[in-house]
Chain A
Amino acid sequence: EAQVTQNPRYLITVTGKKLTVTCSQNMNHEYMSWYRQDPGLGLRQIYYSMNVEVTDKGDVPEGYKVSRKEKRNFPLILESPSPNQTSLYFCASSFRIRTEAFFGQGTRLTVV
């Protein structure tokens, strides 16, 4: 089944403790991206990648890192999480510019 898989689905962590949210797609998509969803703000893009080893900042990149070492994986790294990064995170992938973006199920992160 074609899908975008995120792990974990839920995560509670403490301020400053490094964490990684994984994202994997099995559709051989070139493009991948990360969004965060906050009430009243909709989804905002954090980072995106147009191919292996090619990444760029989205609208809200501060406090996040990404890497794209292989086509199928696009992990999101929070080196030192803070409470304002408590949010619902979505990974998305697409094959080409004109095609739809497929979204993962989301990761609900709470930083205390």
Chain B
Amino acid sequence: AQSVTQLDSQVPVFEEAPVELRCNYSSSVSVYLFWYVQYPNQGLQLLLKYLSGSTLVKGINGFEAEFNKSQTSFHLRKPSVHISDTAEYFCAVSDRQTGANNLFFGTGTRLTVIP
């Protein structure tokens, strides 16, 4: 089974500062990678996904992530955060056979943007 590690459980950052949320996965096979965001009392919303092709993936709300196969990482970045980015962020991985139907999630990173 896949496993996903999000090393930082909480990340506080000042408004308009850059942020990086780290994600590492353990797999020796080809995978699909996802970042989801969860706002309070809501379901999960897809931020971006890597399926194939360019290793730099751009998503919604100004977020981007870079797939690094050699380091098995998929870190999420934003150059300038806003108060509205305060939420919990989940990295997820799936193998190519079951894809989005069978996601393995990390434990989540709570991003708090400080005014």
Which residues of A does B touch, CB under 8 Å? 4, 31-33, 35, 40-45, 48, 50, 58-59, 90, 92, 94, 96-101, 103-106
Contacts and interface: CB of A to CB of B under 8 A. Distances in A.
Contacts of A90: 43-44
Interface in B73-103: 90, 92, 96-103
A99 to B, nearest CB: 6
A103 B43 contact: yes
B32 A48 contact: no
B1 interface: yes
B90 A42 contact: yes
B52 to A, nearest CB: 9
A2 to B, nearest CB: 13
The 6 closest A-B pairs by CB, nearest first: A97-B99, A31-B101, A103-B43, A42-B105, A43-B105, A94-B100
Contacts of A106: 41-43
Contact of B1 (A41, A59, A96): A59
Given A45-B103, A48-B101, A97 B96 contact: yes
Contact of B102 (A4, A33, A100, A104): A33
B7 interface: no
A27 to B, nearest CB: 13
23 contacts: A4-B43, A31-B101, A33-B102, A41-B107, A42-B6, A42-B90, A42-B106, A45-B104, A48-B98, A58-B102, A59-B1, A90-B43, A94-B99, A97-B97, A97-B99, A98-B32, A98-B100, A100-B34, A101-B46, A101-B100, A103-B43, A103-B45, A104-B43
Contact of B100 (A40, A42, A59, A99): A99
Nearest to B52: A98
A45 B105 CA distance: 9
Contacts of B107: 40-42
A20 B96 CA distance: 31
Contacts of B32: 98
B108 A42 contact: yes
